[in-house]
Each structure stands twice: as structure tokens, then as C-alpha cells.
Amino acid sequence: MIPSANRLVCPTPLAAFSVLTWNVYFAPFQWETRMKYILDEASRLQPDVICFQEVVPGFLTLLQRPSNSRWSFSDSNSDTTWLEHNDYLPSTLNPDALTPYGVLTLAKRVHKPVFETVDLPTRMGRRLLLTHLGCIGEGKAMKEKNESFHAEYSKGHKGWTVGNVHLESLNSAPLRAEQLTTISQALREAEQRGRRVILGGDFKLSNKTGWIFLMNCP
């Protein structure tokens, strides 16, 4: 059963800079009902960045479907899409990038997001998806754009870099450790450029030791 929105404790809209991370679960069980609930919640909360995991190609179709179709979103009844109505840019609109499933990041257009993919050691096609906020240009050649909204974060730093990852599943603890080391290095590089970093995703960590490793990853 999907809980009602009034049972959530998050305020609306979220204050300051906010990131929502959500494994949407790729299984077909009540898929349409679950995806509508998730997008309604995202629309209600309006985070700056949304990190989705286990996204299937059909989710992209949903994001681009006019909201006056049978997908009637809670706060919209027009011919604009969910992305347009909520003013998000997606990391991809290519279904091949999410086959059979993958990670997807949505970022508010006002932050001028630039998306970058970092390869990870993996047997399951896992990758780190970085979103650099407050930039112009593309990929690693991006140029920092120092505009007034940077001052809203904190004086002297150059925006945010948000990572989105779905670590290796099943009995793959050593490989997850390797993935976290690669991720840590990528985020450290962003920090060295004067950026604040946040990592969201599904880490497959369910014990104290795993979280200690994540917090102390070199």
C-alpha cells in the first residue's frame, strides 16, 4: 500500500538547497500507481535536485507526457509536461541510457546544471552520475559561472556537485567498496574546485560497518 501524502513529515516546499533521493523500484508491481505518487511528491516538495535509481525507460515517457492526459498530476492540469511544469532538466531523455534500468537525475533549470558520468568498476552496468550546479559548458571542460545565486549557498564556494549512484547489488561488498573509493575520488576533485558535494543514491549498506566505511572512504 502507498502511504498518503499527509503522513510525510517533510515540509513543502523544502527550504534552502535540497536534494531528494528515491529508489523507484523497477518491478512492474503497481508501477503506474507508484510512479504517479512519486512524481506527485516530487512536485509537492520541489527539491533543487532529484536523484532517482532503478529508473526504466517508461519513466521518461511519463515525464514528457502532457499533464492533462490520464496522468493527472496533483498540481497541474495543462498541456505542459511534468518536466516543464516543475522546471526540471533531466540528465537524459535517451531510453537506451536506462535499459534495462539506471539512474536519472533531475535538476532545477535555474541552477544551469551540467551532467557528467563517471565509470565505476561493475558487473551490472553501474555508474556515478554527477550534476554540477551553477555552470556553463559541458562535461569536464565546464567553466564555473559566478553569478549572484552562488552567494545564497555560502560565500566563497562555487555551487554544488550532487552525485547519484546505485551501488552493486547482491553479495558484492568488495566491489561496492571499490565503487565507493572511485566515487570518493570524483567528489574530492569537485571539492578541490571549490564546490560543495552531496552524494545520494542506493548504497546497499545495511550494517554499521558499511556506514563507517562510507563516512571514512579515502
Q: For cell 546505485, name the residue.
A: 166
pLDDT value at 162 more than 60: yes
Task: Report pLDDT for 183.
Answer: 97
pLDDT confidence bin for 5, thresholds 50/70/90: very low
Residue-wise pLDDT for 167-200, tens only, equals 999 888 899 999 999 999 999 999 999 999 999 9
Residue-wise pLDDT for 75-121, tens only, equals 555 678 999 999 999 999 999 999 999 999 999 999 999 999 999 99
Average pLDDT over residues 195-209: 82
Residues above pLDDT 70, as percent of the chain: 71
CATH level 3 topology of 19-135+157-202: Deoxyribonuclease I; Chain A (3.60.10)
For the four alpha carbons of 177, 182, 186 and 192, in that order, the dihedral sign comes to positive
- 60 contacts 90 by C-beta, under 8 angstroms: yes
Sheet with strand 102-108: strands edge to edge: 19-23, 49-55, 102-108, 88-90
Q: Return the H-helix or E-strand segment holding 162.
A: strand 160-166
Average pLDDT over residues 14-20: 78
Task: Report pLDDT for 212.
Answer: 53
Task: Report pLDDT for 154.
Answer: 42
Q: What is the pTM of this model?
A: 0.78
Average pLDDT over residues 142-166: 60
C-alpha R_g of the chain: 17
Average pLDDT over residues 148-158: 46
Burial label, 216 (beta-carbon count in 10 A; 0-12, 13-18, 19+): exposed
pLDDT value at 54 more than 60: yes
Burial label, 156 (beta-carbon count in 10 A; 0-12, 13-18, 19+): exposed
pLDDT value at 56 more than 70: yes
C-alpha 171/C-alpha 164 separation (Å) is 21
C-alpha 144/C-alpha 113 separation (Å) is 11
- Average pLDDT over the chain reads 80
Q: For cell 493527472, name the residue.
A: 72
Q: Hey, where are the domains in the chain? A: 19-135+157-202
